[in-house]
Amino acid sequence: MPDPAPRCAVFDLDGTLVDSAADIHAALDRLMARRRLPGFARAEVVGMIGDGVRVLLERACTARGIALDEESFDHFMADYEANAAVLTQPFAGIPELLGALGDAGWRLAVCTNKPEAAARLLLSGLGLDRHFSALGGGDSFPMRKPDPGHLRATLTAAGAAPEQAVMIGDHANDMLAARGAGVRAIFAGWGYGPQSMAGNAPVAPDVAALRSLLG
């Protein structure tokens, strides 16, 4: 009997598909310099990633004792989108994995809290966009991760059913969205989140291990 829907792998973006912390860090430090404030250590920036740009900027501004205003948000977005793929690269093995999954008949999608336009620009700049049939950004739908509706809407856009899907991500938001949507999850152990965020999901320490877990 044929599968009720094609197999679908849904990937988080920052910290899962791509190592983007350097470009996020650089844009954040440029924003702080514009406000005549000190920048951040890389570990601080990594700890702010995962809940979308606005939350990242709110965390950064709070750490510097200021409030986030819309002018600063708009400036950061324009600066980051223009420089999103300067230092950012796919994690080792990711392009090969995406190609192999596509060749094996998998449908691929991205579910990220990064704004959709920035995510599309980044994937295009890295030549990864051709692999994906759908992208659910942080502003694509009324909800975002960890709300399972974000993942469900991304799956609908990809034409896949939850029971045939797997969510791969490096943050608790990915694991919670998958659990709420009835989707199997695999934690990307090479990413930015501590492995304690994996919960009960299996952990792939590297992309080769993920490939084995996906079968």
**147 in catalytic set:** no
The residue ranges of DSSP E strands in the chain, in sequence order, are 8-11, 18-19, 89-90, 107-111, 134-136, 165-169, 184-188, 203-204
Any residues with CB less than 8 A from the CB of 48 and at least 6 apart, and which? 55, 56, 59, 60
Any residues with CB less than 8 A from the CB of 42 and at least 6 apart, and which? 21, 22, 25
Among the options 12, 14, 23, 170, which is catalytic? 12
Q: Which two tokens stand for residue 117?
A: 């336009």
Residue whose token pair is 């791969």: 168
Residues assigned a catalytic role: 12
